[in-house]
Amino acid sequence: MERKVEDILSGESPREDLDKEVANDTRKWGEHILKILKLAKPHKLSSDAYTALWTRIEETTKKASQRDRQIRIFKYSAVACALIALSFLFWNIQDRNAPYDSLLYSAMNNQNLITEEEEVSIRRGDGRQTLISDGEVIDLSLNGRNENWQKKASTFNTLTVPYGKRIEVILPDNSKVWLNAGSQLTFPTVFDADERQVYLEGEGYFDVEGDPKRPFYVHTANMVVKVLGTTFNISSYKDDAFASTVLLSGEIELQGTGETSFEPQILKPGTAAILRKDSKSLSISTEAVEDHISWRQKQLILKNTPLAEIIARLERVYNTDITVESASGANETFSGRLDLTQPLTNLLTTLYNPLEYQLQKEERRIIINKR
């Protein structure tokens, strides 16, 4: 019985079935179809494309497995973070330190701005940043016009004053702060009902609005100043060997933080507390209180001030790198008054005798050589 070619080819083994096929016509048919399909042109990849495709696959898989590993690490760290966050949460329920933690966190996050920014700027909690033009008083008080500042209660603002600038700011509670060059103040948009906390890096002169029910805390790297309503100056520059707090009126309490620990110290008006960072020792002096705050009047009052300290101050105020090639004279001390409205070179020639020293001025850099 003659079979149709479609039956044969749709069978389980068409090749063998065709060979058994007796009807020549059917067999020929099947052979033709099979031949055409068998000899269908294979579209091979060119050897370049072959290699390139493999290279691509290899690269992607490598990247992907790295990413997978990162995701895995990320998952673990996310769990760890959650645990830490939780423990902090429980801890803070007892300790009530939460506002300070987030304040510190904001302050640490923005520290790079001191060196990166050219202009005075405020970075808000949501990451938005506003530049502030020179000489403007920043009024962030509740009576101030900047109503939009107060909308988000729990965010922190960081005010950055780069080297060579100074700024005056009115905080939400009407306290005034003058910030010196190279300083940064972090503070909440709205202060808490029972305490006011700010973080200072650098130097600030504070005129705190009196409110006995809401103590004002200035946190710095080495100490905390608790204020009830007073005027004082804090200098806490990272690159200085000391940190100082000078009280002008009222009463403040000093506490050590971090690695610095000393007995809480109550400061009387007209006294200065100076912390030597190397020895972690706190000394109280009644001398030359006004010298510390002379920067506000654009003056630098010197009383046996070491030359190195003067140079460090001038560097910040003028935002200029001062390099003294000869080591001699570094321990020399100076007394007197430097007018900070003068050009820097003029000031330096009063410190370094032009007959003995040569001043070489470059862009933002002064090199002092012994002749």
Evaluate whether 179 touches 204 at the Cβ level (below 8 Å).
Answer: yes
Size of the site for another protein (CB under 8 A): 34
The stretch among 39-47, 83-91, 303-311, 330-338 that binds another protein (CB under 8 A) is 39-47
CB nearer to another protein: pick between 36 and 355? 36
The amino acid that residue 106 corresponds to is S
Question: Does the footprint of another protein cover residue 64 (CB under 8 A)?
Answer: yes
Question: Does the footprint of another protein cover residue 48 (CB under 8 A)?
Answer: no
Q: How far is the CB of 78 from another protein (least distance, A)?
A: 21
Q: Write out the DSSP string of 194-210.
A: S-EEEEEEEEEEEEPPP
Q: How far apart are CA 283 and CA 243, in angstroms?
A: 11
Closest C-alpha among 217, 206, 203 to residue 176: 206
User: 8 to 37, contacts with another protein by CB under 8 A?
Assistant: 9-10, 12, 14, 29, 32-37
Burial degree of 308 (CB within 10 A; 0-12, 13-18, 19+) = middle
Q: Which of 16, 19, 56, 97 binds another protein (CB under 8 A)?
A: 56
The stretch among 43-51, 106-114, 283-291, 308-316 that binds another protein (CB under 8 A) is 43-51
Give me the residue label for tokens 């305490």: 195
Question: Does the footprint of another protein cover residue 54 (CB under 8 A)?
Answer: yes
Q: Which of 57, 83, 108, 137 binds another protein (CB under 8 A)?
A: 57
Q: Which of 22, 39, 193, 355 binds another protein (CB under 8 A)?
A: 39
Question: Does the footprint of another protein cover residue 53 (CB under 8 A)?
Answer: yes
CB nearer to another protein: pick between 22 and 37? 37
Evaluate whether 199 touches 179 at the Cβ level (below 8 Å).
Answer: no
Q: How far is the CB of 63 from another protein (least distance, A)?
A: 10
Indicate the helix (H) or strand (E) that contains 79: helix 47-95
Indicate the helix (H) or strand (E) that contains 370: strand 365-370
The stretch among 58-66, 90-98, 105-113, 248-256 that binds another protein (CB under 8 A) is 58-66
Would you give the end-to-end CA distance of the chain in angstroms? 121
Q: How far is the CB of 110 from another protein (least distance, A)?
A: 39
User: 67 to 96, contacts with another protein by CB under 8 A?
Assistant: 68
Q: Rounded to the nearest 5 degrees, what angle is found at the Cα of 229, between the Cα atoms of 226 and 235?
A: 55
Question: Does the footprint of another protein cover residue 2 (CB under 8 A)?
Answer: no
Q: Work out whether strand 265-267 and strand 252-256 pair parallel, antiparallel, or are unpaired.
A: antiparallel
Beta bridge partners of 216: 196, 227
The stretch among 46-54, 139-147, 278-286, 312-320 that binds another protein (CB under 8 A) is 46-54
Contacts of 132-136 with CB under 8 Å at 24 or more apart are 132/167, 134/165, 136/167
Q: Work out whether strand 216-219 and strand 223-227 pair parallel, antiparallel, or are unpaired.
A: antiparallel
CB nearer to another protein: pick between 14 and 250? 14
What is the three-class DSSP state of 77?
helix
Residues 6+ apart with CB under 8 A from 137: 168, 169, 170
Question: Does the footprint of another protein cover residue 323 (CB under 8 A)?
Answer: no
Q: Which of 16, 19, 50, 284 binds another protein (CB under 8 A)?
A: 50
Q: Which of 1, 22, 24, 41 binds another protein (CB under 8 A)?
A: 41
Question: Does the footprint of another protein cover residue 38 (CB under 8 A)?
Answer: yes
Joined together, the tokens standing for residue 11 give 């069978």
Question: Does the footprint of another protein cover residue 66 (CB under 8 A)?
Answer: no
Q: How far is the CB of 30 from another protein (least distance, A)?
A: 8
Binding interface with another protein (CB under 8 A)? 4-7, 9-10, 12, 14, 29, 32-45, 49-50, 53-54, 56-57, 60-61, 64-65, 68
